[in-house]
Chains A and B, each alone.
Chain A
Amino acid sequence: MRNLIALPLLGLAVILQSAVVSQITLLSGYADLLLIMLAAWALQPQVDSAWHWAFLASILIAFVTRLPWPVVVAGYFAVVFLAQILQRRVWQAPLLAMFSVTFLGTLFMQLMSFGVLNLLGTPLRLSDVLSSIVLPSLLLNLLFAIPIYAFMRDLARWVYPGEEFE
């Protein structure tokens, strides 16, 4: 039942993303709060609801963004998938796993956005996208990764009490 915290938490994250985080730009890129939260949540060993969270986050973000919703869904589900694979393999170094998932997830999400928008007719140049959006966003996501991981770890302990996997 405590998993229902996802609804207000992700809702708040979408509002923060739209109202605050998207104003903190580095060149033209900015952090993706929901992607980092999903990555951190899926990396917690006791969590079994990461797919549900990804689904909810996709619905909420697709409601706000002009980005085609399949891109958002595919991106967030890919992040959870990646996190779960890495969580099983590098479980002894959770921060390394967190950085890896954030890095690869951001790269996947941004390049997929680029590809789909180009297919839909938006003129985007790969060099501009890489230098102005992808690399700055990667850096910002990695900066946000540590505090968000700590927060999601504490949240996972609250949602799943007595299931310590340390």
Chain B
Amino acid sequence: MKDLLSRSLQLTVIFLVVGGVLALALGGYFSSASSGFTGGLVSVQTWIATRGQALQDFLTAPRDIVTLRTRNAELESEVSQLQAQVIELQQRVNETEILAALVDFSRSNPQNTYKAASVIGRDPSPFLHYIIINRGSNDGIRRGMPVVTNQGLVGRVDATIADASRVQLLSDPASAVNVHLQNADTDAVLLGSVTGDISLDMISQDAHIDPGDLILTSGLGGGYPADLIVGQVVTTRKVDYELFQQATVQSAVDFSRLEIVLVITNFRPVDVSPLSPTPSP
């Protein structure tokens, strides 16, 4: 009985002490000691929580990487497909624009009939300026037919096979076209060169030509129809003691960027060589 009373008294004293300490702590009397204790506790919990999170990341990350890699591959594949689609569509837009321009050109020149052809190659020799198109004798293409774009004259058909033709460009060094200078109302000969530049020769010394003058085919010689746009005069060269003037020409057509051309199929070149005077013996 005495022991029981003694333990109850001890317990009561302990509770009173603990309660008193708590009351003092809650009352703010132990603030410096409690802040040190809670600070340590928070630090320990932070350390454990950080390591625990890292461990969780370590355990779950591989699965996420695999998922992300798969998704990334899918998206990359989709992007590639879309890029290819964009390029294809862009190409079609370009082709459509070219074809639309060619259709406008053919409508504005209804006197001619045209056959559209794609440029599929160039002459393997750098000395010669020829292109190869994907229309041949099966499509009614014949040697000598003029080839144009909506911008102007390109050249003429030099040779054909069943499904392809070779076209001599105006810039070919062997090309010579009779042209008419519209403003000066005079005729000249347009010559190609090995560098791809084109120039005018045989311009009368009396003619007054200016940079920017428009050059059209004259139709003389029967090799080309008249009034096809060729280009513009850039500079002129006139020397008093020479028989003719010369001029450099900016072609209406960019020969290095030809993609689609029109062959004028209702034009038949005239061979005037039998009419040329031959030296008498």
Please say whether chains A and B are actual partners in one complex.
Answer: yes
Q: How large is the interface on A (under 10, 10 to 19, 20 to 34, 35 or more residues)?
A: 20 to 34
Query: Beyond A22-B124, A117-B127, A124-B173, is A64–B194 a contact (Cβ under 8 Å)?
Result: no
Question: By the criterion CB–CB under 8 Å, are A66 and B128 in contact?
Answer: yes
Query: Does B195 have its Cβ within 8 Å of any Cβ on chain A?
Result: yes
Which single member of A64, A124, A133 contacts B132 (CB below 8 Å)? Answer: A64
Which single member of B121, B191, B194, B195 contacts A22 (CB below 8 Å)? Answer: B121
Which single member of B124, B158, B173, B195 contacts A64 (CB below 8 Å)? Answer: B124
Question: By the criterion CB–CB under 8 Å, are A132 and B123 in contact?
Answer: no
Question: By the criterion CB–CB under 8 Å, are A128 and B121 in contact?
Answer: no
Question: By the criterion CB–CB under 8 Å, are B120 and A129 in contact?
Answer: no
Chain B: how many interface residues by the 8 Å CB criterion?
A: 23
Query: Beyond A28-B195, A133-B194, is A113–B174 a contact (Cβ under 8 Å)?
Result: no
Query: Does A145 have its Cβ within 8 Å of any Cβ on chain B?
Result: no
Interface-located stretch among A12-20, A39-47, A91-99, A147-155: A12-20
Which single member of A14, A29, A123, A132 contacts B124 (CB below 8 Å)? Answer: A14
Query: Does B125 have its Cβ within 8 Å of any Cβ on chain A?
Result: yes
Query: Does A2 have its Cβ within 8 Å of any Cβ on chain B?
Result: no
Question: By the criterion CB–CB under 8 Å, are B174 and A121 in contact?
Answer: yes
Residue numbers in A under 8 Å from B168 (CB-CB): 66
Whole-angstrom CA separation of A132 from B125 in the bound complex: 13
Query: Beyond A66-B166, A129-B194, is A22–B127 a contact (Cβ under 8 Å)?
Result: no
Whole-angstrom CA separation of A22 from B123 in the bound complex: 7
Residue numbers in B under 8 Å from A129 (CB-CB): 127, 194
- Contact pattern, A 109-147, Cβ under 8 Å of B = 1, otherwise 0: 010011001000111110011001100010000000000
Query: Does B143 have its Cβ within 8 Å of any Cβ on chain A?
Result: no
Residue numbers in B under 8 Å from A110 (CB-CB): 127
Query: Does B269 have its Cβ within 8 Å of any Cβ on chain A?
Result: no
Residue numbers in B under 8 Å from A66 (CB-CB): 123, 125, 128, 130, 158-159, 166, 168
A128 CB → nearest B CB, Å: 5
Query: Does A50 have its Cβ within 8 Å of any Cβ on chain B?
Result: no
- Contact pattern, A 1-37, Cβ under 8 Å of B = 1, otherwise 0: 0000000000000110111001101011110101000
Question: By the criterion CB–CB under 8 Å, are B122 and A114 in contact?
Answer: no
Whole-angstrom CA separation of A29 from B256 in the bound complex: 13
Question: By the criterion CB–CB under 8 Å, are B194 and A65 in contact?
Answer: no
Query: Does A101 have its Cβ within 8 Å of any Cβ on chain B?
Result: no
Query: Beyond A66-B158, A66-B166, A129-B194, is A113–B125 a contact (Cβ under 8 Å)?
Result: yes
For chain B residues 160-215, which have a beta carbon within 8 Å of chain A? 166, 168, 173-174, 191, 193-196
Residue numbers in B under 8 Å from A15 (CB-CB): 121
Which single member of B130, B191, B195 contacts A128 (CB below 8 Å)? Answer: B195
Query: Does A67 have its Cβ within 8 Å of any Cβ on chain B?
Result: yes
Whole-angstrom CA separation of A44 from B24 in the bound complex: 102
Question: By the criterion CB–CB under 8 Å, are B194 and A125 in contact?
Answer: yes
Question: By the criterion CB–CB under 8 Å, are A29 and B121 in contact?
Answer: no
Query: Does B126 have its Cβ within 8 Å of any Cβ on chain A?
Result: yes
Residue numbers in B under 8 Å from A14 (CB-CB): 124
Residue numbers in B under 8 Å from A65 (CB-CB): 123-125, 128, 130
What residue of chain A has the Cβ atom nearest to residue B175's Cβ? A122
- Contact pattern, B 99-137, Cβ under 8 Å of A = 1, otherwise 0: 000000000000000000000111111111010100000
B residues whose Cβ falls under 8 Å from a Cβ of A:
120-128, 130, 132, 158-159, 166, 168, 173-174, 191, 193-196, 256
23 pairs of residues in contact across A and B, judged by CB atoms under 8 Å: A15-B121, A22-B121, A22-B122, A22-B124, A22-B126, A23-B122, A23-B256, A27-B195, A28-B126, A28-B194, A34-B124, A65-B125, A66-B128, A67-B128, A110-B127, A117-B128, A117-B174, A121-B174, A122-B174, A123-B191, A124-B194, A132-B194, A133-B194
Contacts beyond the supplied A29-B126, A132-B195: 18 A-B pairs with Cβ under 8 Å: A18-B121, A19-B121, A23-B122, A23-B256, A28-B126, A64-B123, A64-B124, A65-B125, A66-B159, A67-B127, A110-B127, A117-B127, A122-B174, A125-B194, A128-B193, A129-B127, A129-B194, A133-B127
A residues whose Cβ falls under 8 Å from a Cβ of B:
14-15, 17-19, 22-23, 25, 27-30, 32, 34, 61, 64-67, 110, 113-114, 117, 121-125, 128-129, 132-133, 137
